[in-house]
Structure 1
Amino acid sequence: MTRKLAFCTSAAAIALLIGSPAFAADAPSDDSGDGATVETVIVTATKRDTNLQDTPVAITALGSSQIEKAQINTIADVTRFVPSFQATTQGDHGVITMTLRGVGNDSAKTEYADPEVALFVDGVYTPRAEGASALLFDLQSIEVLRGPQGTLWGRNSTVGAVNMQTVKPTLGDAYGTLNVGAGNYGRLGVRAAYNLPLSDSFAVRLAFVSEQHDGYVDFQTPKLGSVAQQQAAFLAGGGLLANFHAIDPNLFAQGGQKYSAQDQTAVRISFLWRPSDNLSWNLSYERFQDRGTPSANLMQTPRPGEKFWSTLADTKPYLKRDVDTIRSRVVWDFSDDISLTYVAGYSRFTGSSDFDQDGGVTVPTSIATGATYQEDRTNNSKYTNYSHEVTLASRGDHRVDWILGAYYAAEDNSIRFDIPIFNGTQQGTVAWQGSFIQPKETVKSKAVFGQATFNISDTLQLTGGLRYTSDRRENIGGTNNAWSYNAACPQVPLDPGTDPRDPAVNPSCFNTYQMNDGVFTGNKLTYLVRLNAKFTPDFLAYASVSTGYKSGGLQDGGTISGVPYNAETLTNYEIGTKLTLFDGRATWNSSLFYEDFKDFQFSSPVTFPGGNRGLATKNADGAKVKGFESELAAKLTPNDTLSIGLSMLKTKLGVLEAGSNDYGNLVANFGPGGLIRNGPACSVPGTACATFTGNTLPHAPSLALQVVYDHNFELGNGAELDARIASHYETSSWLSLFNDGPGDKQRSYHRTDLSFEYSPPDDKPWSLELYVKNLEDGRVRTNAGATATNIYTSQYLPPRTYGLNFKVSF
């Protein structure tokens, strides 16, 4: 009933829109100059500059003004304006992962797992999106391309790609902008940009951003029992009286930076050199710095007497990320018919973090009983990547428009990740602790590609594309190391400065249970076939079949004991329409699609037989996704703008046997003879997992609806007040492939954002904006996990926030 009602509401809105006076048959055209037409949007989805309405791809494009008005500062903010787009937070690495059309990989946060949604900035692929997606600033546009984009866009664009275009320097004029903001939770923000032409052929642009706010999550005061009660619990748990001492309250965080705090800064310097009309070079250097904190694991149902936005933290939050990026683009139109483009990029990420994985779900009854202490600590991580792409493309109008290209990308990654798990507190006894050390994990990807569009007539086009990709992944010197349970070893959390591989430490206190050395190679030919027709100048229809590909890779254990996982592929069948209505006053774009996956990849932290832990990636035999997307944009009057976005999804997982430490009840209940909750046990005896065949994919609500309405009030003498309301509704969705009951689900929700921007009379170059985000103060889960006793935790989108922004142009 909810789905039908929401769909009817959207259809009714469209019907009312078409019947409104603004869309009378004799409505004025764009030539009237009354501003009553939808803005023309230029996109680069086909690696050419084309009008959105002439581009036969399911794409949502947000321009710079939309990005600013909608307070879009992260990828998570973008999802509210794009059909079928979701973003999830992952606290232990402090990153955001993306899902499109119900498909993503929540574990695509380290060197082991790749995303299904590729992220590009100025055409440069960003395999580790920590910097690019965390803080969006000085952007010209954001394009979200839905469906496989591998033919032109390359690596890991299995279900789509996000292409961000930064604002480039311009020749001729010096100008700048400054935006200063403040809000609740101590929010302080500064955004500034300045364009400076240095000659007739050379210009530079400087952009800066700083965003800070206090953490949303307060620290709980530990409510510990009396010393006598602690002693009784300690002895009952098997402890010796000689080893007893009371819990130190200082083990719990009480001050300092809270969880879910922001402290991010970035600067970009961009150069443009245009020595002639047919040659240009854009070059930029960007520095991103993050000193905020991870999002917290919060109890879905707080303990009595505790606030929802609070946690009993026995690990203080810590996050340090630095990203240096260089991007270069050279375009040489060396004839009237052919253009050469060379795009190169280099990025280096370094980081470390500390995270309270246990979420303080239980209060310890003694130093070694009543609770679990788990610290997820990234001691150090370094991701270095670079890429080169060279393309030749036709220019002008031809019977055949074509593009040919070659691509090479490489990554050199390393990480050490420690997990101490103790009974009670960190002064208790070792439940398990390990250190995952990968000193060198490399990726090399090569590809050649081509795409051609045959202009059968002025109104009919046939497009074909091919891409051949060859991948190589190698782990050199990687080891997984775990506590040896030697009674002679002091039971203390592994120190970041201690190397468990050191002979002085290993094997007396730690043992190396897996060697991860190995090589994986794979290749794949992907294709695109598309037919599109312009039945009228304002009506485009298209049908396409395309394939997507994501490389396979190595498991923990390397080529000795590990089992490589296979490449993930899909075939996407899609039909779509793009309409321009009422002399440009409205656009209405829709697509209907069916995606058939093979070897669908799923990654999760697991417990191996014997008790040791690791990250496992498995291939389901497939998954199927079908859906409908529709976007309407309309200029009701010169002062009124309406946009509506709708998506409907139905997903089904193929055969998958899996489990996850993030769901402790799965590990506990799916052993031999255990309680079967969601399906039959695994076919491999003694494996702590179950079969999840036929489950619904996570982050895939059956219906999502976005409505944005903007009205400009003319106050006289040129003064204006721009009022904007953005409302998002979606039905319930699962948070994991396990479909593990109410705790593993985000219920249907409604979210509203408001903004009011005042511009003074006489064209004065400043404005003042008031905004409110998440007006309902809703609690929207982005992931979930559970203990063996079914206590569920989740990370959440931010609570209600509000503030003021002052903007000035000069």
Structure 2
Amino acid sequence: MNLHRKLLYVAITLAITPGTLLAAEQDTTAQSTPAKEQGSNEKKIQNLDAVSVTATKRETPLQKTPVAVTAISVDTLDRERVMTVQDLTKLVPGLQGTSQGDHGVVTLTLRGIGNDSAKTEYADPEVATFVDGVYAPRAEAASGLLLDMDGVETLRGPQGTLWGRNSTAGAISFQTAKPDIGAGFYGNAQVGAGNYNQVGARAAFNLPISNTFAMRVAVVHEQHDGYVDYQNPSGQLPSIAQQQQAYLASSASGGTLANFKPIDPGQYVQRGDKYNSQDQSAARVSALWQPSDAFKWNLSYEYFVDRGTPSMSLMQKPREGQDFWSALIDTAPYLDRTSKTLRSRMDWNINDSMQLSYIAGYNHYTGRSDFDQDVGVSVPTSFTTNGVYQDDRTNDSRYKNWSQELNLKSVGPQTVDWILGAYYGYEDNSIRFDIPIMNGTRYGTVNWQGSFIQPKETVESYALFGQATWHLSDHWRLTGGARWSHDTKKNEGGINWGWAYDPTVPQVPISPDVYPDPSNGFSISQRNTAKYSKGKPTWLLRLDTDVSENGLLYASVSTGYKSGGTQDAGTLYKPETLTNYEVGSKFTFLDGHMTWNSAVYYENFKNFQLSAPIVYPDGNHGLGFSNVGGSTKVLGFETELAYQQTNDRFNLIFSAIPKKELGRLIYAGSNDYQGLPACPPQSNLANCANVTGNDLPHAPNVSLTGIYEHTFHLANGGRLTPRVSAQYQSSQWLSYFNLGAGDRQKAYTRGDVSLRYSEPGDKWWVNAYVQNVSDGKVRTSAGRFLMSDGSLEYVSQYLAPRTYGVQLGVWF
């Protein structure tokens, strides 16, 4: 066991020693609720109209907030076993998550808008993520554990005015549990175990230090074995005679067997960590200093490590005799990430009607990985023929970012509620990413190989913003807001090295400790030094009105903005802009026990950005960005119904996206889709397709999630709560190519069940669960390989197979 895992297990073991810590959740209270207040909160949480959100950067009741926002409580996160950002997708209308193997990240799509390839050290997502108000720019943040949360808010539609750049589709705001000065010492802990050797433990506790200072400590470790078994090459590799025949027929043989080598079965991985495994740990120390009612300072330090493995793409139709969850692997999986984050927020009440806040954050990330990009689809016929060996390898990735935000806002009852703010952010990235591609096996000849070395890529962003809500009357409000953002992106000294096809150079895969240069067979294919600098205003106009005491109607027009930037060869791509038209309603029924929130929206994108790994006409590889011409249009409807009484809870989450049409893009290419037609020279692509007017991927026409639980009160005073949740999605494309059945996920239903027992004194609970009950195979992405016989073989990333386990929680 690694040292960091040992330390965390020791900390958690100490935390759950009898008389010290207890569980993550009670049936009716949140993680951060002190034990002495558990009973009093049972009645309060039943009133759904009492839920508050910070979508407008001030705390307001969810049902009185004229924004399409989904508020997910810590109780729901616990009961639905939401462990990563991807697990949020079934709880939010229109939200989809896609795993990416070679960078080991999760990319998000909201309301049909996202980008599967926004996964590099320099790409920006359309769905912005924030933790305690601090922007997390890189896609790697999406794989982090949701440790000791106080809740999650998903804001749908452009949030550029208050939340900033790169939130064209929406924003996800995570709120961590904060220290509590007046609540005394309390805490929670839980342990769990399940199939695939899953084990997990987490704990959190509140430490009151004085009447002005408190701390909170939280730790977590989650691990399970990989889902993807290693296939045995025996029986799949051709005989020696067949290998010799294939080798003689190849151009590499020269017509003789002088350099022939039999395929070494030992090159295929048979043991060790499997793909799709988890081994993640995190710890957070938070502090709250509140010397007076007028000032408080929240400060936290978070440490996250990931020693799991990337997610493997699987053949949609396995080879005969092979299990579905298996692959013929010649590159062992490897993932090593460390993230250290400091977050700070100071709030100062200047007077009874004005508050000043300063929010700052710093993140330092390092990462390395190995991924079998050929995914074992094509079995070689000799050591140099049929198929390829391709290792996508991040040798070293280092990333730093820091941000500061200052905002001044009104508080308390005002004729005009207002907020003014200024933001500054800076990112500094470096990466070396190698791709050795060999014919046949790793011992074959070079097909192509390259090294992408970017020593310094920076982003500097600053903005000024303001928003005001004028209370026209007791029931009508008019809101206007504007933001001016400016982004400067630089690539300094970036070089793409490609293979020079020099026959005098040894044909070996590039090693991480080798710097590419002409002496070892490489030449510079592209110099990437460039600078992008541009500003853009965004704005919001919204009118909302009360409908009796229990209803709200709103209509808004807003714009979003995602900055442009630099790409391979130092060329620039344009910023992406959006205009969103939206009408929404929020209603409360049954004395606050039922809520029904809906929205209809129409989105019009200009210069919608797509990025993908591509091959250039000269055979070199790179990452290309394209701006889609014309208008990319999305029309949708979403609704959320929630019901909660003492013994029953019910949620219905519905999304419909009948129109999601890509604009004009004649030359679209992607290495993930081999077999595309050859492209004309002016396209600057070797292969491409016309995707104009195609449907956007990850945007099913209909998506529906239903969740129900009922609590039975037992004779001994304990409670037994069965829970069932199911999600239905209609068929959806997995790429903007719309290439047919292999590029599509058919309609599916996926369900989870659990059964929880809470003992009479609410000191402990036990929960048994099964996720993906039917063991359905749900694709989240697709790609295809061109086989030697001209056929096309599709592969996909998949959601997890059926998993089950048991959890035990205690609290005090």
Partner of 1:527: 539
Partner of 1:307: 323
**1:31 positional shift:** 13
TM-superposition CA deviations, 1:465-519 (whole Å, max 9, x none): 000000000000100001111111000000000011xxxx425510001100010
Partner of 1:93: 103
Partner of 2:249: 236
Distance 2:763 2:544 in 1: 45
Partner of 1:628: 637
Partner of 2:386: 370
CA pair 42-243 structure 1, distance change in 2 beyond 3 A: same
CA pair 34-541 structure 1, distance change in 2 beyond 3 A: closer
Please tell me the residue identity of whatever aligns with 2:672.
D
Aligned-partner SS, 2:427: strand
CA contact (8 A) 1:704 1:728 kept: yes
**1:670 positional shift:** 3.1
* Residue from 760, 763, 766 that aligns with 1:765: 763
CA pair 51-485 structure 1, distance change in 2 beyond 3 A: same
TM-score, normalization by structure 2: 0.92
TM-score, normalization by structure 1: 0.92
TM-superposition CA deviations, 1:221-254 (whole Å, max 9, x none): 0121222221111111131411111111111000
CA contact (8 A) 1:117 1:161 kept: yes
Aligned-partner SS, 2:75: helix
Partner of 2:513: 497
**1:683 positional shift:** 6.6
**1:555 positional shift:** 1.6
Q: Does 1:391 align with 2:417?
A: no
Distance 2:307 2:575 in 1: 36
Aligned-partner SS, 1:308: coil
Partner of 1:808: 810
Aligned-partner SS, 1:343: strand
Partner of 1:70: 80
CA pair 242-687 structure 1, distance change in 2 beyond 3 A: closer
**1:102 positional shift:** 0.3
Distance 2:116 2:409 in 1: 36
The 5 A counterparts of 1:122-133 are 122-131=132-141, 133=143
Q: Does 1:216 align with 2:208?
A: no
TM-superposition CA deviations, 1:312-341 (whole Å, max 9, x none): 001000000000000000000011111000
**CA RMSD, Structure 1 to Structure 2 (Å):** 1.5
Aligned-partner SS, 2:711: strand
Partner of 1:716: 715
* Residue from 155, 165, 171 that aligns with 2:181: 171
* Residue from 432, 438, 446 that aligns with 1:430: 446
The 5 A counterparts of 1:680-695 are 684=683, 687-695=686-694
Give the number of equivalent residue pairs.
760
Distance 1:334 1:717 in 2: 53
Partner of 1:608: 616
- Runs (5+) with no aligned partner, structure 2: 1-39
Aligned-partner SS, 2:118: coil
**1:684 positional shift:** 4.0
* Residue from 283, 288, 295 that aligns with 2:304: 288
The 5 A counterparts of 1:403-442 are 403-442=419-458
* Residue from 572, 576, 579 that aligns with 2:580: 572
Distance 1:685 1:203 in 2: 59
Please tell me the residue identity of whatever aligns with 2:198.
R
Distance 1:476 1:279 in 2: 43
Aligned-partner SS, 2:592: coil
Partner of 2:207: 196
CA pair 163-91 structure 1, distance change in 2 beyond 3 A: same
* Residue from 555, 560, 567 that aligns with 1:548: 560
Please tell me the residue identity of whatever aligns with 1:205.
R
**1:215 positional shift:** 0.2
Distance 2:395 2:414 in 1: 56
CA contact (8 A) 2:767 2:806 kept: yes
Distance 2:312 2:121 in 1: 23
Distance 1:394 1:701 in 2: 41
CA pair 766-689 structure 1, distance change in 2 beyond 3 A: same
Partner of 1:753: 752
Distance 2:138 2:65 in 1: 29
**1:99 positional shift:** 0.4
TM-superposition CA deviations, 1:164-190 (whole Å, max 9, x none): 000000013101111000000000000
Please tell me the residue identity of whatever aligns with 2:811.
S
TM-superposition CA deviations, 1:786-805 (whole Å, max 9, x none): 11231111111100000000
Aligned-partner SS, 2:568: coil
CA contact (8 A) 1:34 1:638 kept: no
Partner of 1:345: 361
**1:717 positional shift:** 3.2
CA pair 661-149 structure 1, distance change in 2 beyond 3 A: same
Distance 1:784 1:293 in 2: 19
The 5 A counterparts of 1:619-768 are 619-621=627-629, 622-635=631-644, 637-649=645-657, 650-656=659-665, 657-666=667-676, 669-671=677-679, 684=683, 687-761=686-760, 763-768=761-766
CA contact (8 A) 2:706 2:726 kept: yes
Q: Does 1:487 align with 2:487?
A: no
Please tell me the residue identity of whatever aligns with 2:545.
A
* Residue from 509, 533, 541 that aligns with 2:521: 509
TM-superposition CA deviations, 1:669-691 (whole Å, max 9, x none): 2346xxxxxxxxx9748752121
Distance 1:110 1:690 in 2: 23
Distance 1:582 1:168 in 2: 32
Aligned-partner SS, 2:490: strand
CA pair 244-115 structure 1, distance change in 2 beyond 3 A: same
Partner of 2:240: 227
Distance 1:799 1:153 in 2: 36
CA contact (8 A) 2:669 2:685 kept: no
